[in-house]
Structure 1
Amino acid sequence: MTEKLLQFIWGFGYFNKSSLATTKGEPLQIIFPGSLNKNQGPDFSSAKIRLGNTTFAGNVELHLKTSDWIKHGHESDANYRNVILHVVYEHDVDVNNIPVFELSPRVSVLLLNRYESFMNNASFIPCGGNIVSAKELIWKGWKERLLVERLSRKAEHVLCLFEASNCHWEETFWWMLARAFGGKINGDAFEAMARSVPVNLLSKHKTSLHQLESLLLGQTNLLNDAFEEDYPKLLQREYRFLKSKYNLQPTAVPVLLLRMRPGNFPTVRLAQLAALVHQTTHLFSRIIEAQKLGEITDAFAVAANDFWHYHYTLKEASSFKKKTIGADMADNVIINTVVPVLFAYGLYRNEEKYKDKALRWLDETSAEVNRVTKGFEFIGIKNRSAYDSQALLELRNEYCSEKRCLNCSVGNHLLREAAADYQPASGKLL
């Protein structure tokens, strides 16, 4: 038993409510258990109870043992003067005149055993195989809440970027888009590059693909070597001219190629990013105005110029392979860039339609496949779309890994099931 579990049991009423009475035998009726107080003071505020024939309104304090009231120094704390009921798991000693209600004889031993098994379970998720018993209706609402929590957290970062960009949405999206093309390994370097090449500079040169390439490759220090082929030499000359013209400073964040497939080389990704800028106009505005996800995914159906079909780097030729932005890469950008910025825009404008569109587009995007989603699928949880995979990632990382079963709708459901099959506990602390 923990105080958090005790709060959970009291707040949701997961105990036997027949013939309630205080430890002194006075009849008790719980009209309202109160609202959980996350600040200083009693555990529950604005509660309402009836003792005998008298109704009381005030606060409720919870402890594992009655004597904890003294141990925690509440006797001399003014915040606890309006406590109308002291709820304890085990009553061990009378400490004052506040009515005491003991829960241990009324709590299901099945609930306690299930919670203890969750806390001691070291497998993939605490509830293990029990999770599949949760009904689809519970999952539907819980997944949406998980997604809103995840996107709200991501939106905080987006809005920080928005403020850093002098409240320029196109600039913010450009920074995020570049980071997405850099991936986990080169995301920092690509974002630093994007910050050094503002969108108004890109727009001046968007009609010239090789000038865009020279800007992106040059600012990431990839045009500093001696080259043999004509095209890299052309990019090098263009960059030297543009660098001098605009007084550009290359980024200090190094670009890495270690442990990377050739298709993800930073040179290829920068060439594809340049092609995307070359072939699209005001991409963020298109995202805001678009109603169908296909309007955006079509925009990512671009390929780098012909030089890159025979190269992965600026120095070595390779066999022909067209360097298009693949479906997996496009999905990654939708999930980690388009959807978060769209949701953040909805929060900023206080318009639900943009947030709803962000959730809808996730549901229309292919599911991510990774260690977490495979783990859930192994125990019977379906992963149909990015809507599911993003929700499952949030569940695993923010709830399951932290053993926050009491805050999880599925965990709550499983404990409620155990509470419904009432068997009185022993009265001993676990």
Structure 2
Amino acid sequence: MREELLHYIWRYRHFNQQGLVTEDGRPLHIVFPGQPNTDQGPDFRAARLRIGEVTFVGPVELHIRSSDWLRHGHTGDAHYREVILHVVWENDTPGPPADIPILVLHDRVSKPLLGRYEHWMRQTGFVPCERQLPALTADAWRDWTRKLTLRRLQRRAVIVGSWLDQNRQDWEETTWWMMARSMGLPVNAAVFEAVARSLPLRLLKRHRLYASTLEALLLGQAGLLQAGHGLHREYEFWRSKYGLQPIRLPVSFLRMRPGHSPVTRLVQLAALQKEGKGWFGIIREATSAEVAVGALAGPKGLGIGMRRGIVINAFVPLLFAYGQKEKALAWLEELPGEQNHVIRSWAASGVVAGDAAASQGMLELKKEYCNARRCLDCAIGRALLNIAA
């Protein structure tokens, strides 16, 4: 038994409630188990219980063992003075600590529920509940992934807001940073972002008519130019003129095809700046996701998948942060689902992303819930445990 599972069992009453009695023999009826308490003090607050003939309202504390009350130092702690019930998995004390009634749940919980959760915690596959996924309805899956997509966008909007604070609310500069980071995904995102931050837009605009200069600046800042090469000499000239400092983050070439190498991507990024467009203005004015994708078609070799990726990972979060939330969500629903190893693994488990809104939710689910084994915080995990209960 894990304490987070015990909390879940109590909160959603996944135990046999017939004939409940406290350890001292008094009948117990749960009117309301209480609200989870995220602050200091007992685990649940404002529970409503009838013990014997008396109705109590107050906090409830949960532990794996009743002796944990003493072990955690709750005796004498003012935060726990009003506790009306101590819920435990097993009672290992001769008498109730602090004279608080004890309820033991050990023999009242479904064995399939316990077995399923334990299996998930030990599972080493793609996601803990992989084998149970076929039991889900399409509606349940769609509702949860859409909520996660919103959470993902909200989280990214916070990042956009922090970047705006760093560059004096300059949306074009922030767009430049976002585009660069997106071009570096998945392994060089931080490097590309650092390159963009080291080269302000006002500097690049001075040289936008000269492709070689833009390429030299970007590649040089990333440390990807060889001494003696023409671009290297040009970079050293501008580095001296503007006092540029190359970034220190290492660029990764691990398992990359030539078309996806960081050198190719930085050259393409330079080409996007050579267009001389105000990219944030383009984002605001574009009437659809495909219009935005088409606006990125200039650089040689920048395929449709990569252009859609820039829209999904840079343009959509910017729109959302700017307040055009409906437009941002509509763009995700317009674009097809992304294709990467996580989305392909979901598909192998029987879950297919019909659009980019779904794939974004699936990426959020894998990263924030499955990898962290937060099954009890996940609507999918709870639904599958409900089936087992």
1:170 equivalenced with 2:159 (yes/no): no
Unaligned runs of 5+ in 2: none
1:392 equivalenced with 2:366 (yes/no): no
Number of the residue aligned with 1:115: 117
Distance 1:267 1:375, change over 3 A: closer
Q: 2:353 aligns with which of 383, 386, 395?
A: 383
Query: Does the 8 Å CA contact 2:22/2:103 hold for their aligned counterparts?
Result: yes
Distance 1:135 1:226, change over 3 A: same
1:26 CA displacement: 2.8
Distance 1:265 1:69, change over 3 A: closer
Question: Aligned partners of 2:224 and 2:5: how far apart in 1?
Answer: 57
Query: Does the 8 Å CA contact 2:175/2:318 hold for their aligned counterparts?
Result: yes
Q: 1:325 aligns with which of 302, 307, 316?
A: 302
Using the size of structure 1 for normalisation, the TM-score is 0.79
Distance 1:237 1:87, change over 3 A: closer
After superposition, what is the alpha-carbon deviation per residue over 1:366-398, rounded to whole angstroms, capped at 9, x for unaligned? 323333323222221122233233322322233
Question: Aligned partners of 1:72 and 1:251: how far apart in 2?
Answer: 48
1:268 CA displacement: 3.4
Number of the residue aligned with 1:414: 384
Q: How does 1:274-289 map to 2 (within 5 A)?
A: 274-279=270-275, 281-289=277-285
Question: Aligned partners of 2:195 and 2:341: how far apart in 1?
Answer: 31
Question: Aligned partners of 2:341 and 2:235: how far apart in 1?
Answer: 42
Structure of larger gyration radius: 1
Number of the residue aligned with 1:99: 101
1:190 equivalenced with 2:186 (yes/no): no
Q: 1:272 aligns with which of 268, 289, 299?
A: 268
Using the size of structure 2 for normalisation, the TM-score is 0.87
Unaligned runs of 5+ in 1: 228-232, 304-322, 420-430
Question: Aligned partners of 1:168 and 1:239: how far apart in 2?
Answer: 27
Query: Does the 8 Å CA contact 1:335/1:386 hold for their aligned counterparts?
Result: yes
Identity of aligned residues (%): 45
Number of the residue aligned with 2:298: 302
Compare relative contact order (CA 8 Å, sep 6+) and give the higher one, 1 or 2. 1
Q: How does 1:19-418 map to 2 (within 5 A)?
A: 19-92=19-92, 93-95=94-96, 96-184=98-186, 186-217=188-219, 219-220=221-222, 225-226=227-228, 246-251=242-247, 260-279=256-275, 281-303=277-299, 323-343=300-320, 345-346=321-322, 351=323, 353-354=324-325, 356-418=326-388
Task: Tell me the number of residue pairs that the alignment of Structure 1 and Structure 2 aligns.
Answer: 387
Distance 1:395 1:250, change over 3 A: closer
1:413 CA displacement: 0.8
Number of the residue aligned with 1:307: none
After superposition, what is the alpha-carbon deviation per residue over 1:200-231, rounded to whole angstroms, capped at 9, x for unaligned? 2333443554554454445556666445xxxx
Number of the residue aligned with 1:12: 12
Query: Does the 8 Å CA contact 1:280/1:299 hold for their aligned counterparts?
Result: no
After superposition, what is the alpha-carbon deviation per residue over 1:65-85, rounded to whole angstroms, capped at 9, x for unaligned? 333323332222211111011
CA RMSD of aligned residues (A): 2.9
1:327 CA displacement: 0.7
Question: Aligned partners of 1:57 and 1:254: how far apart in 2?
Answer: 59
Query: Does the 8 Å CA contact 2:205/2:276 hold for their aligned counterparts?
Result: no
